């Protein structure tokens, strides 16, 4: 099924044309957004961002803030105490080691507090136009169902995908598959609404639309519109 990589990505880019929810602003704003979004709904993060960036518009301001001050701006999301600690440590290192500029390589990014390969990959793609693939549970699930990889963990999926996807196409993978996995290729997949079902290796396709199919699709459209509205106001 690997021969379908380019056609599938082309179709899904048309189906999911909007940027990723945290593809916002400058590298600092982008990195903060991705750090805050861990195990948290994008909508929740986007809603707090205007207030956060008014308080901490630069890494320097964030580095000087107390953890309690940072907590007060993000306490509407999960794990806010740990995220506040990581944000302060991240900002301090950016200021001390990188002259206040978010670094632009994988090795440098993962040296920051709270930043793993997935977060770093999102920032590399969104802020530095660098080929990378951020693999979360959605990307892992969808690419395995498509038959592109046969892997047990997101980490192994990243390694496998980096080998088979051309550099010029790597930047699209997380963008389209996160949305596809969130809305259509869910645990019980909505293959009846999938534009690449005929190019998918998944055997147990769910091709019969439910009675509320129209309502499901309308809700997906509404959620995407809400995300775009919030994203536009985030920074």
Which pLDDT score is estimated for 3?
A: 74
Cα 142 from Cα 197, distance rounded (Å): 11
Instruction: Give the class (CATH, top level) of 27-128.
Output: mainly alpha
Which pLDDT score is estimated for 156?
A: 97
Question: Which tokens in the block code for residue 21?
Answer: 């929810």
The architecture CATH gives domain 2-18+132-233: Orthogonal Bundle (1.10)
Which of the following is catalytic: 136, 170, 171, 179?
136
Which of the following is catalytic: 73, 83, 88, 118?
118
- The answer to whether 141 and 185 are in contact (CB under 8 A) is yes
Which pLDDT score is estimated for 2?
A: 65
Domain boundary assignment for the chain: 2-18+132-233, 27-128
- The answer to whether 76 and 50 are in contact (CB under 8 A) is no
- Residue 136 is a catalytic residue: yes
Per-residue pLDDT of the chain (235 residues; tens, 9 = 90+): 567 999 999 999 999 999 999 999 999 999 999 999 998 999 999 999 999 999 999 999 999 999 999 999 999 999 999 999 999 999 999 999 999 999 999 999 999 999 999 999 999 999 999 999 999 999 999 999 999 999 999 999 999 999 999 999 999 999 999 999 999 999 999 999 999 999 999 999 999 999 999 999 999 999 999 999 999 999 8
Instruction: Give how far Cα 172 sits from Cα of 9, 18, 203, Å.
Output: 7, 11, 25
How is residue 192 annotated by DSSP? G
- Residue 61 is a catalytic residue: no
Q: Model's pTM, two decimal places?
A: 0.93
């Amino acid at each position: 099924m690997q021969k379908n990589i380019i056609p599938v990505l082309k179709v899904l880019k048309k189906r999911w044309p909007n940027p990723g929810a945290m593809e916002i602003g400058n590298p600092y704003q982008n990195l903060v957004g991705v750090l805050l979004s861990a195990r948290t709904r994008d909508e929740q993060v986007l809603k707090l961002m205007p207030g956060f960036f008014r308080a901490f518009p630069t890494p320097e301001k964030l580095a000087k803030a107390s953890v309690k001050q940072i907590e007060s701006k993000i306490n509407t999301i999960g794990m806010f105490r740990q995220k506040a600690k990581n944000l302060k440590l991240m900002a301090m290192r950016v200021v001390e080691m990188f002259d206040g500029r978010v670094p632009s390589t994988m090795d440098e990014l993962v040296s920051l507090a709270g930043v793993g390969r997935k977060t770093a990959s999102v920032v590399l793609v969104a802020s530095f136009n660098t080929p990378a693939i951020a693999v979360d549970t959605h990307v892992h699930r969808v690419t395995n169902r498509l038959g592109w990889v046969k892997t047990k963990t997101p980490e192994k999926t990243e390694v496998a995908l980096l080998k088979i996807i051309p550099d010029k196409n790597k930047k699209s993978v997380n963008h389209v598959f996160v949305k596809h996995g969130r809305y259509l290729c869910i645990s019980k997949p909505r293959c009846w609404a999938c534009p690449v079902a005929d190019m998918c290796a998944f055997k147990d396709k769910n091709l019969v639309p439910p009675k509320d199919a129209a309502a499901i699709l309308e809700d997906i459209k509404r959620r995407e519109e809400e995300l775009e509205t919030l994203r536009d106001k985030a920074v």
